[in-house]
Amino acid sequence: MRPRRAAALLGLLGALACASPAPAAIPRADLGAAPPATPDAATLGVADELLEASGLSRQLESVAARIRDDLRRRHAASPEAADAIDRSSARAFDAERLRAAVRAALARRVEPAAAAAALAWFRSPLARRVVALELEAAEPGRATELRAFVAGLAARRPSAARIALLARLDDAGLATETSLDVTLAVVATVARALEASAALEPRLLELRARAYDRMREVTLLGMLFAYRTLADGELARLVAFVESAGGQWFVNATSEVVVRALGAAAEETAPEVARAVRWTGGRTRR
């Protein structure tokens, strides 16, 4: 891979890694299992309720919007390139299109008992509060508040017990892993569109490994901010759900469908981004 193109990809990886973390409800993909048969209307209804009750529909929309913004900002060094990337990414990362793909794929993975347990949690008062806090923390206008919160942590350090709970939540929900998986899906598709190389895949995996510690830190800080009004006991109940059979089913079911959907969208828009990089000689915006 040429140095300038490699720099462009590293820049995108850094931009996404330092953005707000992907929600804990979007975990790492497990691509091994083949999807079951086409679901019926009742199962599609279960998938609809899960997407809405968990906040995943809105979270998916915000993650897709951030990816679109990063693609344009990092690679559109001319107005023409910006317009081309905007047109391509608007189609590929359209919120309703992504939601429809995730809904259908999630419905094919519904296991009745596990899905019922997950829905029972998401219908509870605490879960509704948790989802509201997650959506509120992810709003673009919260960036300044988040920075102020992080700056104040030196003076009011969280307890070791609270940090341990959040670490368990990150591990069970695979939040850090998924942030990296989504990032790598975008970076890899742009890299492959730029230049095919036998050395590309090991290089991308190396980039992922190098970004892990930073992403883990960003994820934990994001959780501290999002859940700052939850008592330790409430946080422990959230962790217990995510670690339960129903929670783990939800984590793994949503993981594959979300990463696949975002990866497919990236595949669709990657050629336009690659052309923008070639037009500008690999330059990216800072």
Cα(152)–Cα(137) distance, integer angstroms: 17
Cα–Cα distances in angstroms (integers) from residue 265 to residues 60, 161, 162, 197, 280, in the given order: 12, 40, 37, 22, 23
Closest CA to 166 of 51, 15, 61, 21: 21
Q: What is the dihedral of CA 200, 204, 260, 58, to 10 degrees?
A: -140
- Cβ contacts of residue 124 below 8 Å, gap of 6+? none
Q: Are the beta carbons of 110 and 103 closer than 8 angstroms? A: no
Determine the pLDDT at residue 88. 85
Q: Are the beta carbons of 27 and 174 closer than 8 angstroms? A: yes
- What the block records as the tokens of 120 is 């029972």
Determine the pLDDT at residue 37. 65
pTM exceeding 0.85:
no
Determine the pLDDT at residue 27. 35
Q: Are the beta carbons of 92 and 189 closer than 8 angstroms? A: no
Q: Are the beta carbons of 170 and 242 closer than 8 angstroms? A: no
175-230: pLDDT as tens digits:
998 888 888 888 888 777 776 666 777 888 888 888 899 999 999 999 999 999 99
- Write out residues in the chain with pLDDT < 50, as ranges: 1-33, 35, 282-286
Axis-axis angle for helices 245-279, 160-173 (nearest 10): 70
Determine the pLDDT at residue 278. 66
How many CA atoms within 13 Å lie on the side-chain side of 54? 27
Determine the pLDDT at residue 221. 95
Burial of 113: CB neighbours in 10 Å, binned 0-12, 13-18, 19+: exposed
The per-residue DSSP string of 201-265 comes to HHHHHHHHHHHHHHHHHHHHHHHHHHTTTS-HHHHHHHHHHHHSHHHHHHHHHHHHHHHHHHHHH
- What the block records as the tokens of 12 is 């995108």
- Cβ contacts of residue 270 below 8 Å, gap of 6+? 189, 190, 192, 193
Q: Are the beta carbons of 226 and 28 closer than 8 angstroms? A: no
128-156: pLDDT as tens digits:
999 999 999 988 889 899 999 999 998 99
